[in-house]
Amino acid sequence: MTDESRSEHALFSEPADRAGRPPRRRRAWPVGVAIFVVLVVLLGIAAVIVDNALRATAEGVAARQIENRLPDGVTGKVHVTIGGGSVILQYLAGEFGHVEVTAPSLAVGGVAVPSRLTATGVPTDLSKPVKNITAHVKFDSKALDAFVKIPGAKPGITLGSGTLSFDGSRSLLGFTVAYRATVAPKAAGDSIELTPKSAKVTAGPAGFDLSPVVNAIIGEGPVPVCVAGYLPAGVRLTHIDVTPQAATLTVHAKDLVLSSSTLASKGSCS
């Protein structure tokens, strides 16, 4: 070996220790750990991509299944959002923790009733019951006319702030007396209770004291209007919020099976 070769060998070689032994090679485990960490990160990214893809697929399938299970006369596009953690883990557990269904174009018999539903404890096997379902259905005055039949009232309900107003008529001494009444609605499970707040006579025979008609309307207790016939059996009306723009009815069900037969069945007032 020439002097030049010895110099190059010494330059690129690690020096021997003082005892003349060759030095130990450095361990490669830090590099292995780094590679492992990178692989885990990549695997996590892949899992998220797959999970998101499965989530989108599951949401699409659920929306189509719901649309296929809509009762006769009910139409509209449905959008489903699956919340909670990993869809894969939820599916393997057999239950989705939180599912939201929106149907902004839902119509019943051609009448628009935009709806939003939130469900918790939704089983992957739809033959099993859903733990809790809460739905909010919005009615404008036209929709309210179609579904809420107030005894003695004419079509043309007017929405107010927490109130409903309508025109009606009554018989007094053989004459027909027309009036306009304002009532406050309240949810009562299978029905809506209408408590009279005010009334005024709009037409009647001249020269008669028409106050008995007004007093009779104001003095009435809550008038029940059955709505159970529009709801699947087991679904209860829990809240009503009325504004001049719309009346929003909230319904709730517990341990309800989302089958065609269940959705087609209707409740009844006691």
Q: How far apart are CA 116 and CA 97, in angstroms?
A: 17
pLDDT tens, residue order, the chain (270 aa): 555 444 444 433 445 555 555 555 555 566 666 666 666 666 556 666 777 888 888 888 888 888 887 877 888 899 999 888 888 888 888 889 999 999 999 888 888 889 999 999 988 887 889 999 999 999 998 888 888 888 778 888 999 999 999 888 777 667 777 888 888 999 998 889 988 888 887 776 665 555 666 666 766 778 888 888 888 888 899 999 999 999 999 999 999 887 767 767 777 786
Contact 205, 175 (CB under 8 A): yes
C-alpha closest to that of 177 among 151, 200, 203: 203
pTM over cut 0.85: no
Sign of CA dihedral 7, 12, 18, 21: negative
Q: Which helix (H) or strand (E) segment is 116 a member of?
A: strand 115-123
Q: Determine the Cα–Cα distance for residues 216 and 172; give it in Å rounded to an integer.
A: 11
